[in-house]
Amino acid sequence: MGVTPDEVVTADVLRFFDGRLAALPLYEAFAGRVFAELGPVTVKVQKSQISFSNKHNFAFVSFLAVRRKKDRPDTYITVTFGLDHRALSPRIDAASEPYPNRWTHHVLISSEEEIDGELMAWVKEAAAFAAGKR
């Protein structure tokens, strides 16, 4: 489903966050920056994640537990993105290479301040990488 910046929080998004409404502002901040910095994208709400795509999926929001329970805050979202290389940063909670030269990165976000230039640079790079896939 295509979503405009004015429709960041749809009925589907509210259902996705049911039981975790405290994390909704984190999603709103992330999605707002994606729309503002990347222009029109397609958003698809699924049972376990919300995907952002141009030609292909480039970023995802989920509640993936990328840290042990004792190290996870109560309120968080996990932002996942794919690049053609492994990004090195202490902020990246997990990275894997499911295919040669296709790295999946997971970043746990627990405050709006963490949705910053560094994260958005990775997301922009992931969008460019996705757009270049055949």
Question: What is the mean predicted confidence (pLDDT) over 53-61?
Answer: 94
Question: What is the mean predicted confidence (pLDDT) over 108-116?
Answer: 97
**Cβ–Cβ under 8 Å, residues 111 and 29:** no
pLDDT category at 55 given cuts 50, 70, 90 is confident
32-45 residue pLDDT tens = 999 999 988 999 99
pLDDT confidence of residue 35: 92
- The proportion of the chain whose per-residue pLDDT surpasses 90, expressed as a percent, equals 82
Q: What is the distance between the alpha carbons of residues 133 and 127, in angstroms, rounded to a whole number?
A: 10
Return the higher-pLDDT residue of 65 and 7: 65
CB proximity list for 116: less than 8 A, separation 6 or greater: none
pLDDT confidence of residue 80: 98
